Amino acid sequence: MKSLFSCCDIKKLSIDDVSEMMQIERQAYAFPWTENVLKDCLQGAYLCRGLMLNGVLCAYAILSVAAGECHVLNICVAPDVQGKGIASDFLRKLLDEAVEWNAEITFLEVRASNVAALALYSKLGFSEIGRRKGYYRNGDNREDALVLSLPLTRHND
């Protein structure tokens, strides 16, 4: 059976994609990033990639890569295509690109309550290395973030 990811194309994101990114962001998260934060990332030296399905943005990711480290700042998949395996394939491709940018390890924070994301990151080999108390806004409260890491290896293809 052909995976949904195999029907997608990866593109470099630009300011022109902010509206579509915000649509996905608002659908996927109770506390979405702001349009200004996305614009700042797109204008900075970040690895910003979108996943296109039938010409429509269905996922995007923003990674910071510097000094041998990759930080996954945001990966967001439209709810109508979540659970179909595209996040893991998309993130693998992005981490391969981070290796091309000389990253040797990647880090990310994830809400402690985000069971689906934790399962994804575990499947990809991430390990918990710490916890940030009260890192995320959660209504009138705060929620801990788990800090995960994954050593990256260069493929000899």
Q: Which of 25, 60, 109, 136 is catalytic?
A: 109
Give the DSSP per-residue string, the chain.
---SGGGEEEEE--GGGHHHHHHHHHHH-SSPPPHHHHHHHHHTT-EEEEEEETTEEEEEEEEEEETTEEEEEEEEE-GGGTTSSHHHHHHHHHHHHHHHTT--EEEEEEETT-HHHHHHHHHTT-EEEEEEEEEEEETTEEEEEEEEEEE------
Determine whether 121 is an active site residue: yes
Question: Who has greater pLDDT, 30 or 23?
Answer: 23
Determine whether 109 is an active site residue: yes
For residue 1, what pLDDT is reported? Answer: 47
- Over residues 120-149, the mean pLDDT reads 94
For residue 155, what pLDDT is reported? Answer: 57
Q: Which of 46, 60, 121, 136 is catalytic?
A: 121
- Give the pLDDT confidence of 34-84 residue by residue, as tens digits: 999 999 999 999 999 999 998 999 999 999 999 999 999 999 999 999 988
